[in-house]
Amino acid sequence: MPDLHPTLRLALLSLGATLTLSTPLHAEEEGDAIFEYREQVMEASAAHLKATSALLQGKVQQPERLATHTAALAGLMQGLPALFPPGSDFAADTAAKPEVWENPVEFAAAADKAEQIAKALHAAVEAGDMAAAGEQAGALGKACKACHTDFRQRK
């Protein structure tokens, strides 16, 4: 091992041992974990979109926080279909409709549209174009609503 600080060396060895000795999650535990994780991602996305809207509408006067929220949105929107792997539709609490798994191409297209809009929103904020950012935030809200209409049931 390279010449590392003793504390860092111990931490790396401990991490390696933990990863080596850990047993893999059972399929059901893994399914529960992905279900909980995707709910957290969706809740975080909604919170960042609401915060973005409040800032763009001038309801909150902290414009220095805007790029943080739009960057988070762009990141959270990446690869959403991976949060819905085959077989993860078992959870009784899921709001996802069966169409997510029955029509994966359409679902992926809807998720990709939201991802592209989120990236455009962040780019507009980074460029300082608040008019375009407002338009993109509205478009993202509509894309989310359309996806939820097609692929999410009301709880």
Q: Is 125 exposed, middle or buried (0-12, 13-18, 19+ CB in 10 A)?
A: buried
Helices (H), 22-103: 27-56, 66-77, 99-102
Q: Is the pLDDT confidence value at 19 over 70?
A: no
* Architecture of domain 27-151 in this structure: Up-down Bundle (1.20)
Give dist(CA 118, CA 141) in Å, integer.
Answer: 10
**Choice among 13-22, 67-76, 121-130 with the minimum mean pLDDT:** 13-22
Q: How many CA atoms lie within 13 A of 86 on its CB side?
A: 3
Question: Would you state the pLDDT for residue 10?
Answer: 47
Q: Is the pLDDT confidence value at 66 over 90?
A: yes
**Tens digit of each residue's pLDDT (9 = 90 or more) over 35-48:** 889 999 999 999 99
